[in-house]
Amino acid sequence: MAKAALLLLLLLQGAPEAPGFEGLRWIGPAPDLKGKVVVVRWWTSGCGLCRDSAPALRSLAEKAAVVAVFHPKPPRDTADADVAAAAKEIGMPGALAVDRDWKVLDRWKAPSERSFTSLTFLLDRKGRVRHVHPGGTISEGEGKELGRRIDALLAEED
């Protein structure tokens, strides 16, 4: 038992802090995420993978805060109303933000380290990245696994 506790402590100490949300344009007020478990999903309009992930994200939003970061393809200015309409159309939950030129996405995960731009990050209450879904669609099974991970993070003591 002591070995398991030590291993858990070492793993937690090694969890990288999220690179931060600086550089995003929030649609509406920026959410207060302090002390919350957070799901951060990069998405775009016209993306079937993003549309198909929305049901899993809505389910996860019942357990954790969700930040839905829109990254236009190609990178460009987009109107907040257009982003909000696209989010509503596919049922994307959570606080909305825009990463106009993908600089925030690139800071969170370098282009050379990703296969998709529709990534999902799971942050613990201290803002540390505890899991990265590599992108593409979040399947029903993957959504359930993310839900279990959120439950475990919610059960952790500060």
The pTM for the full model equals 0.89
Read off the pLDDT of residues 66-103 as tens digits, 9 standing for 90 and up. Answer: 999 999 999 999 999 999 999 999 999 999 999 999 99
Q: How far apart are CA 101 and CA 145, in angstroms?
A: 31
Write out pLDDT tens, residues 105-138: 999 999 999 999 999 999 999 999 999 999 999 9
pLDDT given for residue 157 in this prediction:
81
How does residue 18 score in pLDDT terms, banded at 50, 70 and 90?
confident
Q: Closest Cα partner for 57 from 143, 157, 131, 137? A: 143
Read off the pLDDT of each residue in 141-151 and give the average, rounded to a whole number: 98
Judge contact between 151 and 63, C-beta under 8 A. Answer: yes
- 92: burial class by Cβ within 10 Å (0-12, 13-18, 19+)? buried
Radius of gyration of the chain (CA): 16
For the chain, domains (ranges, CATH) are 17-155 (3.40.30.10)
Span 20-73, pLDDT tens digits: 999 999 999 999 999 999 999 999 999 999 999 999 999 999 999 999 999 999
- How many whole angstroms separate alpha carbon 112 and alpha carbon 58? 29
Give the integer Cα–Cα distance in Å for 88 and 62.
Answer: 17
With the CA atoms of 122, 125, 126 and 128 taken in that order, what torsion angle do they form, in degrees rounded to the nearest 10? -10
Closest CA to 50 of 33, 65, 68, 74: 68
**Is pLDDT at 9 greater than 50 in this prediction?**
no
